[in-house]
């Protein structure tokens, strides 16, 4: 377990004005987040901090993130669509989400009850990475890059603002964010333009 995640649990991800304040969503679900973290500590995954939230990786590949939303705490699986989901507990986070799936929690007791299922999902997600399985995305002229999709899922205000943009403005951002080959560069571009998206402006607007 890394100290950066301890800091996240104390102050939040810093994505909004409530970071570091009592109104931060992390404080609403702190007990649930701590319990999920405890479960993941025995999974064999590496704990990191990406996009301001705890991210769990296997040999450098993103497997899942733990995060707090207004109405629930969540485990978000990057390739969740490939999970079997026998118990029908996984949710699709958004209309454009082709790969990721989410487990939602609103009480520690719920996590304790579902712990065997949570562990089974995590183990299956690891096996998916070990097998090198890929998600077959529907063909779109400009598919939303993974980094932007995750940012939209983690930031409901940004998601609403992005979906309110005209199709042309959305396409402009998608093309610009998708261009770099390295994920960290794509992530940096997205972070830079979040304030502009939140004000309803397109990539070329001043």
- Give strand pairing partners of 53: 50
Both tokens of 58, joined, read 């296997």
Determine the topology of domain 3-130 in CATH.
3.90.1150
Query: CA-to-CA distance for 34 and 13, rounded, in angstroms?
Result: 15
For CATH 3.90.1150, the residue range(s) in the chain are: 3-130
pLDDT number for residue 140: 58
pLDDT by residue, tens only, the chain of 206 residues: 889 999 998 888 877 778 778 888 999 999 999 999 999 999 999 999 988 899 999 999 999 999 999 899 999 999 999 999 999 999 988 766 778 899 999 999 999 999 999 999 999 999 999 999 998 876 556 788 989 998 998 888 899 899 888 888 888 899 999 999 899 999 999 999 999 999 988 887 87
- Angle at CA 90, nearest 5°, toward 51 and 191? 15
User: Torsions phi, psi of 50, nearest 5?
Assistant: -130, 145
pTM confidence score: 0.74
């Amino acid at each position: 377990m890394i100290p950066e995640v301890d800091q996240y649990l104390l102050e939040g991800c810093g994505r909004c004005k409530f970071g570091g304040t009592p109104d931060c969503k992390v404080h609403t679900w702190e007990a649930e987040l701590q319990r999920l973290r405890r479960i993941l500590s025995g999974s064999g995954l590496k704990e990191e901090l990406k996009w301001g939230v705890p991210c769990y990786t296997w040999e450098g590949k993103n497997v899942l993130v733990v995060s707090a939303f207004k109405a629930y705490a969540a485990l978000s699986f990057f390739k969740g669509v490939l999970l079997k989901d026998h118990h029908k507990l996984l949710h699709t986070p958004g209309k454009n989400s082709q790969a990721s799936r989410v487990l939602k929690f609103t009480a520690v007791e719920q996590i304790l009850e579902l712990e065997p299922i949570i562990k089974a999902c995590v183990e299956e997600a690891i096996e998916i990475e070990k097998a090198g399985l890929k998600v077959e995305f529907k063909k779109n002229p400009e598919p939303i890059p993974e980094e932007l999709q995750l940012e939209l899922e983690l930031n409901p205000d940004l998601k609403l603002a992005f979906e309110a943009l005209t199709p042309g403005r959305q396409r402009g951002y998608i093309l610009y964010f998708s261009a770099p080959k390295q994920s960290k560069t794509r992530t940096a571009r997205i972070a830079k333009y979040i304030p502009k998206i939140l004000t309803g402006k397109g990539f070329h607007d001043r």
